[in-house]
Each structure stands twice: as structure tokens, then as C-alpha cells.
């Protein structure tokens, strides 16, 4: 049911809003309500396994199950009496129906793309940013100058089954030879679409506009070609938005329609379904813009790990397609190695046992940890998935200066020598979302996972998505931005607190600085020892004045030995003083490492155990 | 404690049936020719469709080899688009200064001129197509033909869906290698009698037993579980995501329960034992993602051999439902649901979840997150 939202008045009159995310593992439904004071609030949630499997093979079955949970918990009747899933609309003002239904989705493996350009570090990299920003997973990227012979490129492409190809290359009016050469490769390889053999694979051309007619005539016979504005009209400008928009359009029209049950979902929603990462990314940008800060975010999902950065106005999303907490959990173990996982565990585990537990989670992706030991294993793996995902992100977040979409020639050359432009000491907020981070039994666990995985530095606020609703709010913001922001503020972002991190290395137990925190009523003062973690209970909505004086070889964000004075926000966890040093290293000796981990967990009350207690 | 009558938020289990209608779609990777018609009876090995996959392409930068501008290429071409050329045959030629120098471009492969460009100066030559044929995989009736792409074959069969497998489609007789589903198949029990067979172990198999099965020419091995690390030993590399089926193995391996040493469910074992000596079609292909594919064991049956039963998988979870626990600490245990409390509960890990109270086969009642059980008819 595509709704006609013609006027602002119609939008303001939305009283009850249902939003869902049909994820790769779980379908999550959220219900938002306009309260008597006119403010929008989150009121209920329901979740159920996504039903792409037999015997259902229809995503609307899982959708119905998730919505039914909301019905049971909220008392509102949302589903129409029918064998097919159908949402009651509009809201009757009392106990049934909703005025708006929106959804995001990453089921069906999300949007899988191939990008192709001419120069690897220029058009191909821009294409990657456009595709990733649109919420895609990049299966492969090809460039004329990537050193792979043409016939090998063709061979690689032939066996891929993407949902779409993005082709770019050349500045407007410049030489068209190279981008046509890349089109020849695509034509020769003729990759087939992932779903169905009967429809033509979409190719988005966002290159030299002079080459567009040649591209169309070369590819139209075998592909569905859509031409859009050049991603690099001139060398100094990156213009990714038109390509992103076309990708979204094609995702809706061509890709979604081929996943099981999607044709039904598409009919149910009031506005077009958005890819989950695009919804999530939209909210990360909204937060950075609303507070005027640098934000680093992670969407830790079942199949993928999305990292978002909004740094000095530049938005970059990266996705590590095979790092996740369920479907791809085996790949985290494989990529990180047993040693890197085990280093975060305060207990012994036999290597085979660890492999089996990870393998069983991979093949039963919807299960959740029942024991403390299982929970800690998942948290250890989460740290490694984020760490590896962030490593990948840094390779994409490489611009140095300039406003978003604009890059100078000097940036292009400079970026080749710098790993990333992200300086952790300048990150103001870290946001965690995704099933695991939103649902940690204690919020302390999420705070510590984020600090450890990103190796946070300086003074940084920590937040998590309370009940995994950022994608929902992202798609809602396309219809009703005020409602999305109000729910974000009041119900979505959980303020965990602030981390104050001492970067540097020293000897165990040596004093590396001094911290004083003053609230209206209390003063906390402590000497920070190397290797220690502290938690000061500055609660939610409480501000504290910080004075952090590091020793000469330590840095709290403004330079070695320099004192930081700032006003901090408390939170449900409090203010975490991290004296463990950076880079964070754990002892090699197992017993010592376990003791230390237990001490840290105990310091912030992360798990239901005391120092030295065996699990 | 209030109790719900039934719930819908649960994991659908794997199918294990004495007899059911099995439909298999046999789809070509590219449109081609369907060789059977609707209503026709086919045998397991009968070819039902075929197609040709376009050959590989070689691109030659002819303009640069001829030392000309790309736009001059057309007049130097000796072959037209669509024309066949032999390997090393001259496809473009240019006479140099006063005819003193001659430049040639030879085709690197046997194939057809597909395309040449006056902009890039490239010529692409496509090799001859490769023929692909697909067989029926299961004996039965053709119930549907989908234009020039696919055939659907239906048969009555016993069906067992596994949880994980490696290796592709295989056919062979069922051979039981153990007395009991809790027993590990020993290397000594894998011998010459396994040749060409699908060998059924019990709880697990050692690497030595698997190796012997491969050496003796077994076509498949079905066990309750294997250590996840063993998969690396078998394949020579680690699996990161459960997308399998294309491994280069001489035998297909299917796990019915999961990773670790796990007793095969009695019903699964009994079906396999009952139909020992029957011809089966198996496939280890697993894809635990979009369009989920589980490994399968299909044992085609005659109509009179069928033992119809009600399937529980499409029903909802309610007290009395038979389930299997699929997560530590009760991983692999079978039982019946005795209660489904409506309130959110707290388990050891402090996760706030909806739980089910399950009475395990040993009589013990345990509280398990609902997400950690699957409907399973044991």
C-alpha cells in the first residue's frame, strides 16, 4: 500500500507508526506512537526469525510473527484477519491499525554489487564509496590499471552472480577509450544476475558522459543499462549521490522483487523499502549533523559488519561482507585466528570446543547464548569482527581535506601516503548497533566491546542503539524526520557514558596520570595506574567537569603530557577511565591474561562475577 | 506463571520423513533445451536438459599491434564479426611504409570474432561454447517444465535434511556401517563393501575413517557430527561461511546434527537403516543464507512402501511439541515442550528472553531460550 503523503499536515497527523527491518537473521518490528504532548516515542518491539528458509520461504511469514509479538505485548491489533500478511491501516484512534508502515531489509543477502572503474585509486575508489554508501556489499572491484590482464578480469567476472554492476571512469569530455575497454570486459564476461536467469543484469553507468552513447550501444543487448551523472565529472569533484540514488531505485525494482516473498512486502509498505545499511547510515549522518561532531559507528550484524564514519563532514561506510556474528561467525574465527579470539576470554577453552561452538552458531544462526561462557565467547568474537571491519574501513576513509564530495588534486596524491584521515583522538562519539551490541545483558559489556575493538582514544562518548532501531528510524526519517529524531533522542540512543583514555605505554602499575571529575555534588579524584580500568558512576543526564593530567609520555587526546579539561556526559555505565595504554596489548601468559581480564570486567561490573572467580 | 497456548517465533526444524512427496527443480545455469516433457517418467541418470555456456573471451589490442589509430582498425580487419577463426589465424593485417613492413594480428584461440571497436582498438574473440547437461537426480515424474530453463521432477521418497554438508550431488546404495546411532564408525568398518555406497556412520567418524571411505570409493558418508576442525583437515582449508557444495571431493559428507560428536537422531538412523540397500540421491550443498539450502538425503520409494505421517514443521510451537535443543549447554538434546511462559525470563547469561520449558528425554526439565530450540520430530 503506497501511501500518498502529499502534505506536511498529513505527515504530522501520523499517530501510530510501524517500522520493520527484515534482517538476514531476524525480523525486527518496532512500534512508534505520537503521544499526547505531540512527541513521538517508541512503545513496543517484537522479533522473530527471518523466514527465507523452507518450509516458509517467504519473508512476510517472519514479518507476521514479529508483528504478532508486538500485538501481544502492546495490546494494539496491527494485523488484518487474513491468511496473507496484511497490515491494518489506518489507526482507528483506539486499539487497532497504524497510519504508516515502513521497512528496511537486508534479507536475501542484501545488495551485492561489482564496481568497475578506470583508475583504481580514483574512479574505482569513488565507485566503491558510492556503492557502499548505497548499502551494497562489494563482491569485486575492477580497474583498468589493477594489474590484472583483461582476459583474467573476464574470467573473474564470468562466475560472479551480482545484483548490479556500477561502471565509472573518465572525466566528462575526456578520453573514453579506457572506460569503453572496461565495458568490453563486462560485455565479454556477461555475468549473470544472482536471482533468476531470465532478467537482464542492471549496469549503472556513472562515467564520462561523452562515452555514454557508446556504452549503451555496447551493453544494452545483454544488460539493463541505466546512465546517470558522472561520479567524477572533473578530477577534483566526487559526485556520488546520483549514482547512489539510481542504485536504490534499481535495488527496489530489480533485486528485491526476486527474493522470496518480497513482492508481498513491497505491497505492504507505505514508502519504498530501503537497504538496512542505508537506513543505519542515514541515522549516523543525522546524529553527526545534529550534534556537529565526528562519529564512528558500527552495525554488527549476523552476516556483515558495517562501519560508518562521519569525520569532519565526510561520510564513509564500509562493509566487511564476511564478518558477522551468525552466518559469518566462522569467518571471523578464520580471519582473526583462534589466538586473537581466546585472548579476550577469562577462562580456558579447548580449541576444538571453540571451533565446534562457532561452527554450530554458523549453522544455527538464530540461537542466542544461554550460558555466561557462551556469551563471553560471542563478545570476544564481536571485538575481533569490529577490529577487522575497522581495519578495512580505514582503507576507504582516506581523503585528507576538503568538504564532502569535493576533493582537490593534492588530496588525491596525499591520500596515497596516509592510511586514513581518521584520528581516533578526534572522534567524539562511538555508536554501536546490531543485535549483539543492542542486546548485551549489561550495557557495560557493549561499552567495553566498543572501547576494545576500536581502541578508542582521547575523550569519547559511547552510545548504543537501545533496541536495534536505527535502520527503522533511518527509513522513517525519509517520511517524518522530526519523528525519527525524537525517537532517536528519547528512546534509541542509550548514553553509556564517556571513556577517557590514556594513550602510551609504560610499566605495570606505574602512575601514568591523574583524573579529577566534579559534578554538582561530588568530586572524584584518582591516580591512574598503567594497566588499570576504572569506572566512575556519573549517571545519566549528569554532567561532570574533567581535568585529566597525563604524565609526559601519555596522551589523553590533545598531546603528550597535556592536560585535558572538558565537560563530560555521564550515562548508564558512567565515566570509564582507561589506563590500559594504547596500543592495547594483553599479556601472553594465559593465567596473567585471565586475571587481568577478570579484573577489568570486575572494575566496570561487566559480568556477573567477581575478581578471581572461576566461571 | 501465565502460559501461552502457542507461539510463532521459533526456528523451523529440519525435515526427517518416512515418506513425502519430493520435488526437485533441475535448472540450467543458462537457458537451453529441455529434453523431457510433462508427464514423462524419468530415471535417476537420465539427461533432462542441456545448454551451452559461452566460451571464454580473449581480447587483443589489435590497433596497438598494427601500430595504427583505433579508428583505422576496421579497414585492417580480415575477419567480420561472427566469423570463425582458428588459433593463430591472421585476423587483421596492415602493410607498412611502401609495403616494406607488414604487421599481423593473430587470433590467440579458436573461436568466433565477437566484437571489435574503433574506439579502443580491441578485438574480442570468443571460444566455442562448453556443453552442459543435467540429469534427473531423482527418478520420478516430470510434473513441470519451465520454458527452456528447468524441469521439475516429483517422486515419493523418504527425506532427511541434514544441517551441514560438503560435496555435491551423488547417488548410491545406502550402507549402514554401525549398529547404533550413538556409535562412531570405526576405520575397520569402512572396507571394500563401501565401494559405490552411501555409508551411514553413527555419531561421528575419524579422519582415518573418512579417508578410508574415500579410498574405497564410497560416494557419501552420513554421520551425526564431525569436529568443525576436521572439515579443514578434509578440505585442506577452513570454511568461514556455510556456503558449500562445490568442494572438490570424491565423496559427499552430510552431518545430520551439527559440529562435535553427536548421536544421530534415532528417527533419522531408523529411516536409513530401514532402507539399507535402497538407491539414494544425496547432496551436501549447504547455504545458510538467502534462499537457504540444506544438505539432503532422498531415498525414492515405491508407492506401496510409503508410510505417510503428519509433518510437525508447519505447525506452531505448543506444549507437547517435539523439539531439539540447538545450543549449548543442552546442544543436541531432544525433548518435548511442557510450558511456554509468556513473560520475558532471564537465563544464566542474563539475557532477557522468552523461554520454553522442555522436558528432555532423560526426564529432566530445563528452561531454554525459545530461539535455541527447533521443531524436530524424533
DSSP of B164-216: EEES-EEEEEEEE--SSTTSPBPGGG-SGGGTTEEEE-SS-B-HHHHHHHHHT
- How many angstroms separate the Cα of A78 from the Cα of each of A30, A40, A63, A90, A270? 12, 18, 12, 10, 15
Are the C-beta atoms of residues B46 and B36 closer than 8 Å to each other?
yes
Q: Is residue B8 part of a domain?
A: no
CATH class of A110-267: alpha beta
Set of chain B residues whose Cβ sits within 8 Å of the Cβ of A330: 228, 238-242
Domain ranges of chain A: 8-107, 110-267, 295-319+426-603
C-alpha cell at B253: 559428507
Report the alpha-carbon distance of residue B134 to residue B149 in Å, rounded. Answer: 11
Which of A68, A181, A359 is opposite residue B122, by nearest beta carbon?
A: A181
C-alpha cell at B281: 540421491
Set of chain A residues whose Cβ sits within 8 Å of the Cβ of B30: 192, 197
- Across the interface, do B59 and A184 touch by the CB < 8 Å criterion? yes
Which of B227, B242, B350 is opposite residue A352, by nearest beta carbon?
A: B227
User: Do B327 and B224 lie in a common domain?
Assistant: no
- Across the interface, do A355 and B259 touch by the CB < 8 Å criterion? yes
User: Do B35 and B72 lie in a common domain?
Assistant: no
Nearest Cα residue to B163 out of B256, B268, B267? B256
What does the pLDDT look like over A75-118, one tens digit per residue?
A: 999 999 877 778 999 999 999 999 999 999 877 666 788 999 99
Are the C-beta atoms of residues B284 and B168 closer than 8 Å to each other?
yes
Query: In chain A, which among 212-231 make CB contacts under 8 A with chain B?
Result: 214, 218
Mutate to test the interface with A, among B117, B125, B291, B313 (most CBs of A within 10 A): B291
User: Do B231 and B296 lie in a common domain?
Assistant: yes
Interface contact A255, partner B, CB < 8 A: no
Are the C-beta atoms of residues B173 and B195 closer than 8 Å to each other?
no
- Across the interface, do A372 and B351 touch by the CB < 8 Å criterion? no
User: Given pLDDT bands bounded at 50, 70 and 90, which one contains residue B8?
Assistant: very low
- Across the interface, do B241 and A68 touch by the CB < 8 Å criterion? no
Mutate to test the interface with A, among B5, B6, B9, B134 (most CBs of A within 10 A): B9
- Across the interface, do B240 and A330 touch by the CB < 8 Å criterion? yes
- Is B152's pLDDT higher than 70? yes
Radius of gyration for chain A, computed over Cα atoms and rounded to the nearest angstrom: 25
Report the alpha-carbon distance of residue A533 to residue A589 in Å, rounded. Answer: 20
- Gap from B85 CA to chain A (nearest CA, Å): 17
Nearest Cα residue to B183 out of B199, B203, B200? B203
> Quick one: DSSP state of residue B23?
E
Q: What is the pLDDT of residue B12?
A: 61
CA dihedral A149, A154, A159, A163 (to 10 degrees): 110
- Gap from A63 CA to chain B (nearest CA, Å): 10
Mean pLDDT of B254-271: 94
Q: Is residue B144 part of a domain?
A: no
Set of chain B residues whose Cβ sits within 8 Å of the Cβ of A372: 348-350
- Gap from B189 CA to chain A (nearest CA, Å): 25
Set of chain B residues whose Cβ sits within 8 Å of the Cβ of A369: 327-328, 349, 351
The residue of chain B with its CA nearest to that of A355 is B228
Report the alpha-carbon distance of residue B335 to residue B322 in Å, rounded. Answer: 6
- Across the interface, do B348 and A352 touch by the CB < 8 Å criterion? no
Interface contact A69, partner B, CB < 8 A: yes
Interface contact A355, partner B, CB < 8 A: yes
Mutate to test the interface with A, among B228, B230, B285 (most CBs of A within 10 A): B228
Which of A53, A65, A155 is opposite residue B292, by nearest beta carbon?
A: A53
Set of chain A residues whose Cβ sits within 8 Å of the Cβ of B229: 351-352, 355
The residue of chain B with its CA nearest to that of A190 is B54
The span from the first CA to the last CA of chain B, in angstroms, equals 29
Report the alpha-carbon distance of residue B42 to residue A239 in Å, rounded. Answer: 57
DSSP, residue by residue, A460-527: EEEEEETTS-HHHHHHHHTT-HHHHHHHIIIIIEEEEEEEEE-BB---TT-EEEEEEEE-SS-EEEEE
Report the alpha-carbon distance of residue A140 to residue A156 in Å, rounded. Answer: 9
> Quick one: DSSP state of residue B303?
G
Helices of type H across chain B: 62-66, 73-76, 207-215, 228-235, 266-274
User: Do B80 and B227 lie in a common domain?
Assistant: no
User: Do B21 and B93 lie in a common domain?
Assistant: no
- Across the interface, do B260 and A360 touch by the CB < 8 Å criterion? yes
User: Do B340 and B287 lie in a common domain?
Assistant: no
| Distance from the Cα of residue A334 to its chain's centroid | 21
Radius of gyration for chain B, computed over Cα atoms and rounded to the nearest angstrom: 28
- Across the interface, do A52 and B353 touch by the CB < 8 Å criterion? no
- Find the CATH number of the domain harbouring B106: 2.40.50
User: Given pLDDT bands bounded at 50, 70 and 90, which one contains residue B337?
Assistant: very high
- Give the max Cα distance, chain A: 74
Helix (H, G, I), strand (E, B) or coil at A267: helix
Range of the domain at B324: 318-375
Report the alpha-carbon distance of residue A582 to residue A575 in Å, rounded. Answer: 18
C-alpha cell at A466: 537501545
Please count the other Cβ atoms lying within 10 Å of the Cβ belonging to residue B315: 11
Q: Is residue B169 part of a domain?
A: yes
Q: What is the pLDDT of residue A10?
A: 80
User: Do B45 and B181 lie in a common domain?
Assistant: yes
Q: What is the pLDDT of residue A59?
A: 84
Q: What is the pLDDT of residue A258?
A: 63
Report the alpha-carbon distance of residue B313 to residue B375 in Å, rounded. Answer: 6
Residue B173, strand partner residues:
B197, B279
Interface contact A567, partner B, CB < 8 A: no
User: Do B293 and B220 lie in a common domain?
Assistant: yes
What does the pLDDT look like over A222-267, one tens digit per residue?
A: 899 999 999 999 888 888 889 988 887 787 666 666 667 788 888 8
The residue of chain A with its CA nearest to that of B316 is A65
Interface contact A514, partner B, CB < 8 A: no
Q: Which residue, chain included where needed, has cell 539493463?
A: A224
User: Given pLDDT bands bounded at 50, 70 and 90, which one contains residue B11?
Assistant: low
Interface contact A77, partner B, CB < 8 A: no
Query: In chain A, which among 260-319 make CB contacts under 8 A with chain B?
Result: 260, 303
Report the alpha-carbon distance of residue A243 to residue A233 in Å, rounded. Answer: 12
Mutate to test the interface with B, among A179, A337, A367 (most CBs of B within 10 A): A367
ipTM entry: 0.85
Set of chain B residues whose Cβ sits within 8 Å of the Cβ of A144: none
Computed over every residue of chain B, the mean pLDDT equals: 90
User: Do B187 and B240 lie in a common domain?
Assistant: yes
Q: What is the pLDDT of residue A413?
A: 44
Report the alpha-carbon distance of residue A341 to residue A457 in Å, rounded. Answer: 22
Helix (H, G, I), strand (E, B) or coil at A528: strand
A296 half-sphere exposure, CB direction, 13 A CA radius? 27
Set of chain A residues whose Cβ sits within 8 Å of the Cβ of B115: 184, 187-188, 218
Enumerate residues 6+ apart whose C-beta is below 8 A from A293.
Answer: A287, A428, A429
Are the C-beta atoms of residues A151 and A125 closer than 8 Å to each other?
no
Are the C-beta atoms of residues A169 and A118 closer than 8 Å to each other?
yes
Please report, rounded to a whole number, the percentage of residues in chain B having pLDDT higher than 90.
72
Query: Alpha-carbon torsion A270, A272, A275, A278, what sign?
Result: negative
User: Do B184 and B300 lie in a common domain?
Assistant: yes
Number of domains composing chain B: 3
What does the pLDDT look like over B100-133, one tens digit per residue?
A: 778 999 999 999 998 898 888 999 998 988 888 9
The residue of chain A with its CA nearest to that of B330 is A370
Q: Is residue B140 part of a domain?
A: no
Nearest Cα residue to A531 out of A582, A573, A576? A582
Report the alpha-carbon distance of residue A578 to residue A502 in Å, rounded. Answer: 6
Interface contact A357, partner B, CB < 8 A: yes
- Find the CATH number of the domain harbouring B325: 2.30.30.30
- Across the interface, do B259 and A359 touch by the CB < 8 Å criterion? yes
Q: Is residue B92 part of a domain?
A: yes
Set of chain A residues whose Cβ sits within 8 Å of the Cβ of B368: 370
C-alpha cell at A267: 505491497
C-alpha cell at A160: 560472479
- Across the interface, do A364 and B326 touch by the CB < 8 Å criterion? yes
Are the C-beta atoms of residues A308 and A295 closer than 8 Å to each other?
yes
User: Do B230 and B114 lie in a common domain?
Assistant: no
Set of chain A residues whose Cβ sits within 8 Å of the Cβ of B126: 188
- Across the interface, do A351 and B229 touch by the CB < 8 Å criterion? yes
The residue of chain A with its CA nearest to that of B348 is A371
Report the alpha-carbon distance of residue A273 to residue A569 in Å, rounded. Answer: 36
User: Do B285 and B195 lie in a common domain?
Assistant: yes
> How many A×B Cβ pairs under 8 Å?
214
Backbone conformation region of residue B123, classed left if phi is above 0, alpha if psi is from -120 to 50, else beta = beta
Are the C-beta atoms of residues A528 and A534 closer than 8 Å to each other?
yes
Helices of type H across A75-203: 125-133, 150-158, 177-189
Domain at A8-107: CATH code: 3.30.420
Residues in chain A: 615
Are the C-beta atoms of residues B123 and B57 closer than 8 Å to each other?
no
Q: Which residue, chain included where needed, has cell 553427536?
A: B262
- Gap from A336 CA to chain B (nearest CA, Å): 11
- Across the interface, do B371 and A359 touch by the CB < 8 Å criterion? no
Residues A225, A242, A265: CA angle, nearest 5 degrees: 75
Nearest Cα residue to B241 out of A362, A317, A204? A362
Q: Is residue B136 part of a domain?
A: no
Enumerate residues 6+ apart whose C-beta is below 8 A from A356.
Answer: B227, B228, B258, B259, B260
Are the C-beta atoms of residues A594 and A605 closer than 8 Å to each other?
no
Query: In chain A, which among 422-481 make CB contacts under 8 A with chain B?
Result: 439, 441-442
With a cut of 70, which residues of chain A have pLDDT below it?
A: 1-9, 52-56, 108-110, 195-198, 252-259, 399-418, 610-615
Amino acid at each position: 500500500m503506497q501511501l500518498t503523503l502529499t502534505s506536511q499536515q498529513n505527515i504530522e497527523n501520523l499517530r501510530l507508526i510501524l517500522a520493520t527491518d527484515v534482517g538476514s537473521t531476524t525480523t525486527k518490528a518496532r512500534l512508534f506512537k505520537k503521544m499526547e504532548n505531540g512527541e513521538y516515542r517508541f512503545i513496543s518491539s517484537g522479533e522473530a526469525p527471518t523466514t527465507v528458509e523452507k518450509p516458509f520461504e517467504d519473508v512476510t511469514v517472519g514479518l507476521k510473527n514479529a508483528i504478532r509479538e508486538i500485538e501481544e505485548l502492546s495490546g494494539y491489533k496491527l494485523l488484518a484477519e487474513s491468511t496473507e500478511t496484511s497490515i491494518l491501516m489506518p489507526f482507528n484512534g483506539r486499539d487497532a491499525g497504524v497510519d504508516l508502515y515502513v521497512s528496511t531489509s537486508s534479507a536475501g543477502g542484501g545488495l551485492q554489487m561489482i564496481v568497475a572503474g578506470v583508475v583504481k585509486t580514483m574512479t574505482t575508489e569513488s565507485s566503491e564509496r558510492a556503492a557502499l554508501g548505497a548499502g551494497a556489499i562489494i563482491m569485486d572491484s575492477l580497474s583498468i590499471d589493477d594489474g590484472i590482464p583483461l582476459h583474467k578480469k573476464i574470467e573473474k567476472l564470468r562466475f560472479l552472480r551480482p545484483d548490479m554492476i556500477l561502471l565509472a571512469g573518465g572525466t566528462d569530455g575526456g578520453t573514453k577509450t579506457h572506460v569503453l575497454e572496461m565495458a568490453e570486459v563486462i560485455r565479454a564476461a556477461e555475468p549473470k544476475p544472482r536471482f533468476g536467469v531470465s532478467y537482464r543484469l542492471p549496469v549503472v553507468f556513472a562515467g564520462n558522459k561523452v562515452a555514454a552513447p557508446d556504452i549503451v550501444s555496447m551493453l544494452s543487448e545483454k544488460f539493463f543499462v541505466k546512465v546517470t551523472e558522472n561520479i567524477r565529472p572533473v578530477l577534483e569533484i566526487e559526485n556520488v549521490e546520483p549514482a547512489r540514488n539510481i542504485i536504490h531505485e534499481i535495488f527496489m525494482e530489480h533485486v528485491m522483487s526476486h527474493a522470496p516473498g518480497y513482492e508481498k512486502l513491497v505491497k505492504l509498505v507505505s514508502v519504498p523499502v530501503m537497504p538496512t545499511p542505508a537506513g543505519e547510515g542515514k541515522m549516523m549522518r543525522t546524529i553527526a549533523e545534529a550534534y556537529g561532531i565526528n562519529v564512528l559507528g558500527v552495525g554488527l550484524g549476523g552476516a556483515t559488519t558495517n562501519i560508518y564514519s562521519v569525520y569532519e563532514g565526510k561520510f564513509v561506510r564500509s562493509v566487511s561482507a564476511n564478518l558477522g556474528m551468525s552466518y559469518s561467525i566462522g569467518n571471523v574465527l578464520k580471519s582473526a585466528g583462534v589466538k586473537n579470539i581466546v585472548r579476550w576470554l577469562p577462562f580456558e577453552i579447548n580449541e576444538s570446543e571453540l571451533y565446534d561452538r562457532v561452527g554450530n552458531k554458523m549453522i544455527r544462526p538464530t540461537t542466542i547464548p544461554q550460558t555466561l561462557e557462551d556469551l563471553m565467547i560471542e563478545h570476544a568474537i564481536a571485538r575481533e569482527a569490529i577490529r577487522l571491519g575497522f581495519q578495512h574501513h580505514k582503507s576507504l576513509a582516506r581523503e585528507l581535506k576538503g568538504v564532502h564530495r569535493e576533493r582537490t588534486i593534492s588530496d588525491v596524491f596525499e591520500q596515497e601516503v596516509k592510511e586514513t584521515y581518521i584520528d581516533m583522538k578526534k572522534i567524539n562519539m562511538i555508536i554501536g548497533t546490531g543485535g549483539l551490541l543492542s542486546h548485551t545483558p549489561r550495557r557495560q559489556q557493549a561499552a567495553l566491546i566498543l572501547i576494545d575493538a576500536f581502541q578508542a582514544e582521547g575523550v569519547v562518548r559511547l552510545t548504543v542503539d537501545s533496541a536495534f532501531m536505527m535502520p527503522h528510524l533511518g527509513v522513517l526519517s525519509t517520511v517524518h524526520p522530526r519523528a525519527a529524531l525524537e525517537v532517536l533522542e528519547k528512546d534509541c540512543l542509550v548514553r553509556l557514558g564517556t571513556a577517557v583514555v590514556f594513550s602510551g605505554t609504560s610499566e605495570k602499575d606505574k602512575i601514568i596520570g591523574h583524573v579529577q571529575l566534579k559534578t554538582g555534588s561530588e568530586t572524584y579524584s584518582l591516580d591512574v595506574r598503567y594497566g588499570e580500568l576504572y569506572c566512575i558512576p556519573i549517571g545519566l543526564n549528569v554532567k561532570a567537569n574533567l581535568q585529566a593530567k597525563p604524565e609526559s609520555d601519555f596522551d589523553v587526546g590533545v598531546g603528550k603530557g597535556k592536560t585535558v579539561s572538558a565537560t563530560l556526559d555521564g550515562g548508564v555505565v558512567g565515566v570509564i577511565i582507561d589506563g590500559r595504554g594504547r596500543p592495547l596489548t594483553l599479556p601472553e601468559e594465559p593465567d596473567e591474561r585471565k586475571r587481568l581480564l577478570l579484573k577489568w570486567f570486575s572494575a566496570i561490573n561487566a559480568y556477573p562475577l567477581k575478581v578471581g572467580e572461576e566461571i | 506463571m501465565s502460559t501461552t497456548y502457542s507461539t510463532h517465533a521459533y526456528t523451523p526444524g529440519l525435515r526427517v520423513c518416512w515418506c513425502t512427496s519430493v520435488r526437485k527443480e533441475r535448472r540450467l545455469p543458462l537457458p537451453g533445451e529441455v529434453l523431457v516433457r510433462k508427464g514423462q517418467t524419468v530415471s535417476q541418470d537420465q539427461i533432462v536438459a542441456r545448454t551451452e555456456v559461452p566460451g571464454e573471451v580473449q581480447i587483443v589490442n589489435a590497433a596497438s599491434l598494427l601500430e595504427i589509430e583505433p579508428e583505422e582498425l576496421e579497414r585492417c580487419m580480415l575477419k567480420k564479426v561472427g566469423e570463425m577463426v582458428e588459433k593463430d589465424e591472421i585476423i587483421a593485417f596492415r602493410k607498412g611504409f611502401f609495403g616494406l613492413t607488414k604487421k599481423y594480428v593473430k587470433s590467440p584461440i579458436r573461436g568466433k570474432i565477437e566484437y571489435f571497436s574503433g574506439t579502443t582498438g580491441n578485438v574480442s574473440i570468443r571460444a566455442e561454447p562448453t556443453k552442459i547437461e543435467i540429469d534427473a537426480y531423482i527418478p520420478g515424474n516430470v510434473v513441470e517444465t519451465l520454458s527452456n530453463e528447468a524441469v521439475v521432477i516429483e517422486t515419493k521418497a523418504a527425506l532427511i535434511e541434514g544441517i551441514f554438508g560438503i560435496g555435491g550431488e551423488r547417488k548410491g546404495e545406502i550402507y549402514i556401517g554401525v549398529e547404533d546411532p550413538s556409535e562412531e564408525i570405526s576405520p575397520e568398518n569402512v572396507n571394500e563393501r563401501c565401494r559405490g555406497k552411501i555409508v551411514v556412520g553413527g555419531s561421528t567418524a575419524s579422519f582415518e575413517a573418512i579417508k578410508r571411505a574415500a579410498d574405497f570409493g564410497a560416494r557419501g558418508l552420513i554421520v551425526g557430527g564431525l569436529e568443525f576442525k576436521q572439515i579443514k583437515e578434509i578440505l585442506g582449508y577452513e570454511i568461514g561461511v556455510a556456503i558449500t557444495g562445490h568442494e572438490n571431493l570424491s565423496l559427499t559428507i552430510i552431518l545430520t546434527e551439527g559440529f562435535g560428536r553427536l548421536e544421530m537422531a534415532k528417527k533419522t538412523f531408523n529411516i536409513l537403516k530401514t532402507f539399507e540397500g535402497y538407491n539414494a540421491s544425496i547432496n551436501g550443498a549447504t547455504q545458510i543464507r538467502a534462499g537457504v539450502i540444506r544438505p539432503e538425503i532422498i531415498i525414492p520409494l515405491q508407492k506401496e512402501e510409503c508410510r505417510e505421517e503428519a509433518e510437525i514443521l508447519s505447525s506452531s510451537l505448543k506444549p507437547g511439541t517435539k523439539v531439539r535443543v540447538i545450543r549449548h549447554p543442552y546442544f543436541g538434546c531432544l525433548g518435548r515442550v511442557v510450558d511456554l511462559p509468556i513473560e520475558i525470563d532471564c537465563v544464566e547469561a542474563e539475557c532477557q528472553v522468552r523461554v520454553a520449558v522442555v522436558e528432555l528425554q532423560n526426564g529432566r526439565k530445563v528452561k531454554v531460550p525459545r530461539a535455541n530450540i527447533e521443531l524436530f520430530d524424533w
